[in-house]
Structure 1
């Protein structure tokens, strides 16, 4: 039996009420060996969605009570999240959600840029009809999401757009490396996911697609490079507005 877990859609109300743990749902019964996985996934989602904000001290007892689990799976899950760079242990103080590091972001974007730029260059040279059709459909759905203001749906479609590119070149190790870096960027991307940024992201994706469709490898590579550079610029603006969420 698979354990059910999720971050509640009422996270905004819970945070407004001063209880971010209220966004965590109880874990239903299942295989005991999966408890740590379920707690980890729930906490990761809450951290990435900024329900548990960067810099916030973590109350293990509150998590245990809210999710209906013992301290062991919570501690084990937090140890995994520390290894992933999402939480950190402060000696004599406890565990907190790790503030966002612009330096870490720059390094992860360097990795993404190096691999994704070459990926779109390869895709443009392939000119595969199935890939072009999948990208075109994805962009249609992105436009619908932007028009209707569906930020979460757009976020998923954004990820899918890049997934299509990686799947088309059939390089699973490259895809895996980029996935690790992308996961590390998820919190930061949520901060810049304003309605205006969604429009700009769509425009950048369309520019990448046009270059791929026309077989212009260098133009596609440059468009992807500029697309990823925009993330850094937006984050610097966010860091100046919400310095409490970022490492000094």
Structure 2
């Protein structure tokens, strides 16, 4: 029954993406703007509002129960953040995913996370190894049960375990910023097949760390992130309407 309910909700959102927006309350313009921005940001990142979709300001106003001012202010903030763009005499649309930006963020992640696991292989403690094993077991369960959201969260947690273990807060902060910028693209690629591949790639990284093989761990992480780039390229040829070079 749960699967039917999820499918029904997804179909409704596809038919009316504004259903993802909540009604908001607030007496001050600033607080309303923040609430509208947060709701629109979530709808864009979660793909309720797909890349390239034109945003109907009136529909947002009616759905959220606000005037045009907080909606316009929120969209201006989202434009500054690169999530929407204003098209002269056409309106505002959700920004397509820019492949050039994706490559830059994955370059940053590769440079930092490859070195993270290389160093970690020489110094990883048993508590971190046990935590990685527990995470992988939960990932397997999520893959077997087709739990996409749960797998997404476990994927994030796997990388966070590695970054926490190396204990370099600035590195973790930079990687987190790049991961956030990739979130829409990663959600677009979410599929049972991609999750199964990710699980296998994570397992190879953890196995190399447990074996204290820094070069193998670095190679496994590099291959893992390279596969994300390759799959995005394949996906962008299938859905060019969602991407921009």
Task: Decide: shared fold, TM above 0.5.
Answer: yes
Q: Could you say which residue in structure 1 is the equivalent of 2:61?
A: 64
What is the aligned counterpart of 1:43 among 40, 43, 59? 40
Displacement of 1:9: 9.2
In the TM superposition, what are the counterparts of 1:185-196 in structure 2 within 5 Å? Answer: 185-196=182-193
- For the aligned residue pairs, the C-alpha RMSD in angstroms reads 2.0
What is the aligned counterpart of 1:238 among 219, 235, 238? 235
Displacement of 1:153: 0.5
Give the distance between the partners of 1:79 and 1:151, measured in 2 at CA: 32
Offset from partner CA, 1:4-26 (integer Å, 9 cap, x none): xxxx9965233343x21122121
In the TM superposition, what are the counterparts of 1:166-245 in structure 2 within 5 Å? Answer: 166-245=163-242
> How many residues were matched structurally?
240
Give the distance between the partners of 2:206 and 2:218, measured in 1 at CA: 11
Q: Secondary structure at the match of 2:13?
A: helix
What is the aligned counterpart of 1:151 among 143, 148, 155? 148
Displacement of 1:134: 1.4
More helix, by proportion: 2
Q: Could you say which residue in structure 2 is the equivalent of 1:14?
A: 12
Indicate how the Cα distance of structure 1 residues 71 and 195 shifts in structure 2: closer, same or farther if over 3 A, else same.
Answer: same
Offset from partner CA, 1:180-207 (integer Å, 9 cap, x none): 1111111111121111110000000000
Range that drifts further, 202-211 or 25-34: 25-34
Offset from partner CA, 1:40-79 (integer Å, 9 cap, x none): 2221221122111111111122112111223333223222
The answer on whether the counterparts of 1:39 and 1:73 sit within 8 Å (CA) in structure 2 is yes
Indicate how the Cα distance of structure 1 residues 34 and 197 shifts in structure 2: closer, same or farther if over 3 A, else same.
Answer: same
Range that drifts further, 224-233 or 128-137: 128-137
Indicate how the Cα distance of structure 1 residues 179 and 75 shifts in structure 2: closer, same or farther if over 3 A, else same.
Answer: farther
The answer on whether the counterparts of 1:55 and 1:96 sit within 8 Å (CA) in structure 2 is yes
Q: Secondary structure at the match of 2:24?
A: coil
Q: Secondary structure at the match of 1:50?
A: coil
Give the distance between the partners of 2:177 and 2:197, measured in 1 at CA: 24
TM-score by length of 1: 0.90
